[in-house]
Structure 1
Amino acid sequence: MHPHFLLALTPLLLLTSIAHAADCDNAIDQATMNQCAAQQNKAADKELNVLYQQITNRLKSTPDSKKLLVGAQRSWVAFRDAECKFSSAGVEGGSAYPLIYSNCVTELTKARVQTFKNYLKCQEGDLSCPVPGA
């Protein structure tokens, strides 16, 4: 095959994969469902990382609290991964495993996102909140 022909096909292939990935609401095959679950997982993880950065920035003046957050987050990641490995063990090795595992990670990540959002909404003087207000 001529190299220019392959280059000419590249935009078409990219458009096809983008269009295919964009139709998560109507995904009917396992590969597409797995891909969509991975995209949702990536989006939740990105949101979590943004919030984590905001919290660590607020904790700059309290290094002990920041250290506790880092430890808690590492433990949470270990828990999340272990929990999702356990909860998807029934389909391990099967074509649905990526979907089941990714959905678990996404759901737990969304719950952690909500926890972080709550931390960022702490009111001045709230002694039960570990993150100082902005």
Structure 2
Amino acid sequence: MSAYRLQQIQGHILPETKSTAMAGSPSPLTTHVLNTAMGVPGANMALSLYRQDPSTNAWRMINTGTTNDDGRCPGLITKQLFTSAVYKIRFDTAQYWASIGETCFYPYVEIVFTIDDPGQKYHVPLLLTRFSYSTYRGS
């Protein structure tokens, strides 16, 4: 049984509530994956966006996506759905590294962050190698 499924069963992740972000509308939340070991964008990486329910601390899935050839995933969330809350982006790094014939130490990366002012734009990049990762709040 996967860890994700176990978390669902234990109530840590609530049933999926995907939103279909409009491809043409700018998302107030963006991400960019860079494979710094090879000096290329992290293309074709699956990811998912979650928001934490403050009353239960359970995670609700907001959207899923895949990075494009530039390592970006546009349309993560609409301005209407973007509220003050704790969010996380889960990146499927094992699948990414396997797709380019490599193994990795971290099978996934979860970046958890707080949004206090949903009127601002937030950029959450992931800098990645097979054995390390880092992130920061970009602009």
Normalising by structure 1, what TM-score?
A: 0.25
Normalising by structure 2, what TM-score?
A: 0.25
Considering Cα pairs closer than 8 Å and 6+ residues apart, tell me whether 1 or 2 has the greater RCO.
Answer: 1
